[in-house]
Amino acid sequence: MSNEPIAHFEAASTLAVVVSSNEPLLFLSEDQKVIAASTSFCRTFEIDPATIPGRPLSELGNGRETRLPDYVILIATVGGLSLFGLSGFVLGPLVAALFIAVWSLFTEDRLHPLDDKSTRAD
């Protein structure tokens, strides 16, 4: 019995979750190439969704799309190399970019809280 139908179902399910997510998510292949990105990911990092599929993950963390300052990328790369070894070359800037994205979402929520009066039924 082949596991191929199960694998296709899992991939389709994962793709559906990523595409419909309100959070910044990526769906990666085994060789770290982007299969799909959520709309929130593209909006957060200001990346054109049409350019995402098939790109290596390492290309997304180079600062061009994320608009991170060069010094942040440098510090994140050095920190990533010291913490994670060679894979930290990619993981350091990625963790820094995700931290900045989460921080901006957090501060945005704090600056513009939801109006509780509009959601209550009187």
Whether residue 84 is found in the same domain as residue 40: no
Residues 27 and 73 in one domain: no
| Eight-class DSSP state of 112 | S
Domain end, chosen from 56, 77, 92, is at: 56
SS3 for 21-67 is: CCCCCEEECCCCEEEEECHHHHHHCCCCHHHCCCCEHHHHCCCCCCC
**36 and 23 in a common domain:** yes
pLDDT of residue 3: 56
Same domain membership, residue 101 and residue 44: no
pLDDT at 67: 67
* pLDDT per residue rounded down to tens, the chain (122 residues): 455 555 566 677 777 777 777 788 888 888 888 888 888 888 877 788 788 888 887 777 555 555 677 788 888 889 988 988 888 888 888 888 888 888 877 777 666 666 555 555 54
Q: Is residue 18 a contact partner of residue 26, using CB atoms and an 8 Å limit?
A: yes
Residues 42, 1 within the same domain? yes
Please state the pTM of the whole predicted model. Answer: 0.45
Q: Residues with Cβ < 8 Å from 26, sequence gap 6 or more? A: 18, 34, 36, 37, 38, 41, 57
- 119: CB partners within 8 A, 6+ apart: none
52 and 68 share a domain?
A: no
Note whether 45 and 89 are same-domain residues. Answer: no
- In this structure, are 65 and 121 located in the same domain? yes
User: Where in the sequence is the domain holding 81, given as residue range(s)?
Assistant: 61-122
Tell me: do 43 and 80 sit in the same domain.
no
Please report how many Cα atoms fall inside a 13 Å half-sphere around the Cα of residue 110, on the Cβ side: 6
Separation of alpha carbons 45 and 110, rounded Å? 20
Say whether both 17 and 36 belong to one domain.
Answer: yes
User: What domain count does the chain have?
Assistant: 2
Statement to judge: residues 4 and 25 lie in one domain: yes
Q: What angle do CA 87, 92, 96 make, to 5 degrees?
A: 155
Which one of 56, 75, 99 terminates a domain? 56
The verdict on 34 and 72 lying in the same domain is: no
